[in-house]
Every structure is written in C-alpha cells, then in structure tokens.
C-alpha cells in the first residue's frame, strides 16, 4: 500500500512539473496538440471594424487551426502599440503607418510583416454648420495622442485648407468618446471610424461627413502588423502561422457577409444595421482588407512622402527594405495559395 502511495505521489509531482514546464514555454495543452500563447496589441480601447480580422480569426477557429492561443490587448493608440512592441509587452502590434515609421527612423528594430485594413477607413465628421475645412479655424477638434493616427489625419485635413494645429484647439479625447463629445458640443470635429460615422449620422441629424479620408487619400497606407526583428528571428514560425490565420480571416470576410457582420457587431458593440453599412463601404466598395500580402511598396513610399510634407517624419527616412520583411507572409501564401476577388465570390 505504501509503495502504491509513493508511486502515485511521484506521478503527481511529475504532472505538476510537466504543467509548470508547459506554462513556462507558453504552451497550452489542446488534445494531442499544443497551442502557443501570443499576445497582440490593437490601437483602440475597443476593437474597431478595421481590426475585426483578429476577432474573425478567433471566432472562426483560424488561430486554433494554426496552433495559436491569441490574446488581444486593446491600447488607446498606435503610439502605445508601437511602444508595447518595442518593450516586448506584446509580440505583434497593429499600428497605423506613422508611429511605426517614426520608431524605425529613431532606430527601433521593428518591421512590418503584414497588414489589417491597408486603406484608410476614417472620415472627419463635423456639425453641418461647418461647411468647409476652413470653417474649422478656432474650433475645438478632438484628438487622441499627438502623433497618433487620428491626430495625423486631422492634421492632413487641416493642411488641405492651409491650416495648422495652431489654428484650431486640440481637445484630448479617447476615440470611444468622440461621438458623445460631438453630440455634447465639447468638440466640433473628430476623425471617426466608419462604424462611428454611421452611428452618429443615425443618432443626430446635425452632423455630416466633411471629409472622407479614403476618397482624398486613396494611396495612403493605413494598418500594419509589426514585430521587432529580434522577436521575428526567434519566432518566424509563429509569425507565419499568425499571418496564415489573418489571411484566412480576410478571405472569409469577403465570402461570408452575414457571419462577418454578426461577429463585428459583437466585437465593436455597434448594432447590426450600422455594421452592415460599414461592411458595404469597407469591403464592398473600398476593399480595405487584403486577401494576399497587402504590402504595397509604392503606396508605402507615398505615405512616407505625405508624412514628410506634414512635418511628421522624425529622423532620417528609413529604407523600405528595412521596414518590411515579406518572408513570413510569403510562406503563409505558399500554404494558402493566392486569391483574387473573383475566386472569393
């Protein structure tokens, strides 16, 4: 009896040690396979439609198919996402181009390995009493962090009327609070994601879209998935698996509107009618989610040139070869094959 108890005790200790080893290695048991835990950072306090590919990949099991257990860390802006990537607080970050390029220009060893929505998904919304960009002079303008995406889009719109940030009054507001701040007349302008645009137009007829950024800047690159070069050197297989799931999600979105709208409504918190309209604009009209690599050097070059014209580029312009690492996404496409809009219908 004592011998049996000793054997049971040994097995119990071994089981505990095995569990500790699994946790230390970031592995989570899943049947006869293991899932690797990775954390990603997204640039909004609540996931927007522009980042809903991650929610699709989770809910439809694409991450699970790739042996990944992905945790989302919602941050307030792309600036904070880039900081988190550089500090190794998250493995992969979703960031607009500007903070990522400036981090690289400042010497951070970060690279883009793919994209989420790679075209602009935002508009400037104002009261209808503001009929032109020039009318914004002296008005309260909602922004998040200086140098973050929505502040930069605001600066770009102002530049079109030869205005600068000094010609308006910046009011710091977290993006989820933009709609209420507009309705409450705390601000007279904000850069809103497409679902936010439809929401405020539905709720209050006093507002209109002053500028659709996609229409005036169709060549501007929006979203990047970035990592540090050190992380990529050690985890190239994880990057390939992550991107494989993301590409699957993008393709799924074009082929499955009803399910995409359902998941996006649950993820963003907006009702299905608003998300249905958002889907028609972002996927039906603008096709902002790439179904292959989505990394277009010509458009990235243009985006950097716009950053320079706005006085946003801090430091020496980085070489494109140092900004992009296509190896992981090329390997993902080798597994999945390339796709076109025709084959996805």
Q: Are residues 311 and 328 in the same domain?
A: yes
Q: What is the pLDDT of residue 341?
A: 56
Per the domain annotation, does 278 fall within a domain? no
Q: Which of 177, 161, 171 is nearest to 210 (CA)?
A: 161
Q: Per DSSP, what are the bridge partners of residue 40?
A: 72, 92
Q: Are residues 251 and 168 in the same domain?
A: no
pTM beyond cutoff 0.85: yes
Per the domain annotation, does 88 fall within a domain? yes
Measured distance CA(172)–CA(193) in Å, rounded? 17
Q: What is the pLDDT of residue 292?
A: 96
Measured distance CA(149)–CA(51) in Å, rounded? 14
Measured distance CA(57)–CA(46) in Å, rounded? 17
Assign residue 130 the CATH number of its domain: 3.40.190.10
Q: What is the pLDDT of residue 344?
A: 52
Q: Are 129 and 198 in contact (CB under 8 A)?
A: no
In the structure, how many helices (H) and strands (E) does the chain have?
17, 11
Q: What is the pLDDT of residue 340?
A: 77
Per the domain annotation, does 283 fall within a domain? no
Q: Are residues 12 and 43 in the same domain?
A: no
Q: What is the pLDDT of residue 266?
A: 97
Q: Are residues 62 and 132 in the same domain?
A: no
Q: What is the pLDDT of residue 29?
A: 41
Structural domains of the chain, count: 3
Q: What is the pLDDT of residue 6?
A: 45
pLDDT mean for each 10 residues of the chain (345 residues): 42 38 39 76 94 97 97 92 97 96 94 97 98 98 87 95 96 91 98 98 98 96 97 97 98 98 97 98 96 94 94 87 95 93 51
């Amino acid at each position: 009896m004592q011998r049996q108890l000793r054997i049971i005790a040994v097995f119990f200790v071994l089981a505990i040690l095995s569990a500790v080893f699994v946790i230390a290695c970031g592995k989570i048991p899943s049947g006869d396979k293991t899932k690797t835990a990775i954390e990603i950072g997204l640039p909004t306090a609540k996931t927007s439609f522009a980042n809903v590919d991650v929610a699709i990949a989770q809910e439809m099991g694409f991450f699970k198919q790739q042996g990944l257990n992905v945790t989302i860390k919602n941050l307030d802006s792309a600036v904070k996402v880039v900081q988190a990537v550089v500090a190794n607080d998250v493995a992969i970050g979703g960031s607009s181009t500007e903070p990522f390029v400036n981090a690289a220009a400042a010497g951070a060893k970060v690279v883009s390995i793919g994209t989420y929505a790679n075209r602009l998904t935002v508009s400037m919304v104002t009261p209808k009493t503001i009929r032109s960009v020039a009318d914004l002079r002296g008005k309260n303008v909602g922004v998040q962090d200086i140098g973050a995406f929505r502040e930069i889009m605001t600066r770009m719109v102002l530049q079109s009327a030869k205005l600068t940030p000094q010609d308006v009054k910046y009011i710091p507001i977290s993006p989820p609070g933009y709609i209420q701040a507009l309705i409450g007349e705390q601000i007279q302008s904000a850069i809103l994601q497409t679902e936010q645009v439809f929401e405020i137009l539905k709720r209050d007829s006093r507002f209109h879209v002053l500028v659709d950024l996609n229409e005036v800047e169709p060549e501007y690159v929006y979203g990047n998935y970035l990592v540090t070069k050190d992380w990529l050197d050690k985890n190239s297989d994880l990057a390939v698996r992550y991107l494989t799931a993301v590409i699957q999600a993008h393709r799924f979105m074009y082929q499955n509107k009803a399910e995409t709208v359902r998941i996006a409504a649950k993820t963003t918190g907006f009702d299905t009618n608003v998300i249905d309209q958002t889907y028609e604009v972002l996927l039906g009209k603008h096709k902002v989610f790439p179904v292959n690599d989505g990394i277009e050097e010509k458009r990235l070059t243009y985006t950097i040139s716009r950053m320079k014209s706005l006085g946003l580029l801090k430091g020496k312009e980085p070489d494109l070869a140092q900004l992009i690492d296509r190896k992981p996404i090329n390997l993902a496409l080798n597994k999945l094959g390339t796709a076109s809009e025709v084959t996805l219908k």
